[in-house]
Chains A and B, each alone.
Chain A
Amino acid sequence: MTAWYASLQTKLILSFLILIVVISGLTFGYTYNETKNALKESTQDELANIAGIMATQVDGDVVAALEPGDEGTQEYLALVEGLRVMRSSRPDLDTSYIMTVPLNGTVTFLVDDTWGDDVPGEVNDSVWIGDAYEDAELEAIGAAVESPSTSSEFYTDKWGTFLSGYAPIKNAENRTVAVLGVDMLATKVMQRQDFIGSTIYLIMAISALLAALIVGAFSRTIIRDIKKLNATATAVSMGNTDVMVDVERNDEIGELAGSFSRMVTSLKIMMMDRD
């Protein structure tokens, strides 16, 4: 009796499983990477579009007139409320804000839609008019003076790691007076990427399992017939010619069974003649 680990069935299933895992792994790696990049690009486009749409809803003349200390004014509060309402329609967005156009490599904040959310005694991160935006993505913000743009990669500032979209805010004379920004937390983008990764992984795991089951079932019939042939050969080798080859297949094993059957039949005839 052949040990299970040395049997053809085990070897066949293992070989196919290894083959499937290798092919799946390579396909997974390639597909996941491509999908991840495509997802990031589509998120960037989405952010640029959202920023572009939001920017058209902001009154550029009101923004241009903002001065430090205006935070409590009706105009400022209306801008904050407007940004909050627009942002709330997209729960995956973290914040939206308005900045000055970059000047001498510096950007300052004008409106922050989290303004007024600060809780006394806690770490408060809303900004005030005129606060400098350190670690700003100057290149992307500068590009947004002309048309909507996005971060080329995830970037980190003191509020976290984000992917952002930027768009110009124009005044009545169609001149860019400020830039609107919307942030999506990197974790949100990564969650999307991870979801795709998990889905691909799940599909591949199911495929590998199905393939293993099919190979298992297929090899089982082969092994069953080889075992029958082996049992017949063993019986004949022990002097028992009163056996028949009970294997009916249309493949090479069937041909082997046919040859073996002819051999046994001839042996029987010759032994009968000798008797």
Chain B
Amino acid sequence: MSGFSEQVLELSVPYLGPAAKKFLERQTTSHMDGLSFDQLQKGHLPELGKWVEISAGLLIDKAKAKQLADKIRALA
């Protein structure tokens, strides 16, 4: 698992719980050309942030989803 993957996961667990990794894996494989979440690099973060904001907004409060996405984007 790359350092960025670990950081993103650490940021996401408080919002999405123990299934956060499954959620992030789904975002990268479905929306980022089959990218494995473990292979996440700095350049992927803005795109991942966009999809987290959209998809997490369907699961949790939209403001919180945006907050998580902003934190992910800020890692870049």
Contact = CB atoms under 8 A, between A and B. Distances in A.
Contact of B26 (A246, A262, A267, A273): A273
Nearest to B25: A273
B60 A269 contact: no
Nearest to B18: A266
Given A262-B17, A265-B19, A266-B18, A244 B26 contact: no
- Summarize B's interface: helix, strand, loop or mixed: helix
A150 interface: no
A119 interface: no
Contacts of A265: 15-17, 19, 59-60
Interface in B23-49: 23, 26
Nearest to B23: A269
A65 interface: no
Contacts of B13: 262
Nearest to A262: B17
Contacts of B19: 265-267, 269-270, 273
A267 B20 CA distance: 10
A273 B26 CA distance: 9
Q: Chain A, interface size: which category?
A: 10 to 19
Chain A interface mostly: helix
Contacts of A244: 60-61
Highest count of chain B CB atoms <10 Å: which of A263, A269, A270: A269
A98 to B, nearest CB: 89
A84 interface: no
Nearest to B61: A244
A246 B23 CA distance: 22
A143 to B, nearest CB: 82
Contacts of A246: 61
A273 B22 contact: yes
A273 B22 CA distance: 8
Contacts of A262: 13-18
A44 interface: no
A220 interface: no
Interface in A222-251: 244, 246
A266 B23 CA distance: 9
Nearest to B21: A269
Nearest to A273: B22
Given A269-B22, A269-B23, A273-B26, A263 B60 contact: no
A266 B17 CA distance: 5
A268 interface: yes
B22 A270 contact: yes
A96 interface: no
Interface string B61-76: 1000000000000000
Contacts of A100: none
14 contacts: A244-B60, A246-B61, A258-B14, A262-B13, A262-B16, A262-B17, A262-B18, A265-B16, A265-B19, A266-B17, A266-B18, A268-B59, A269-B20, A269-B23
Nearest 4 pairs between A and B by C-beta? A266-B17, A262-B17, A266-B19, A269-B19
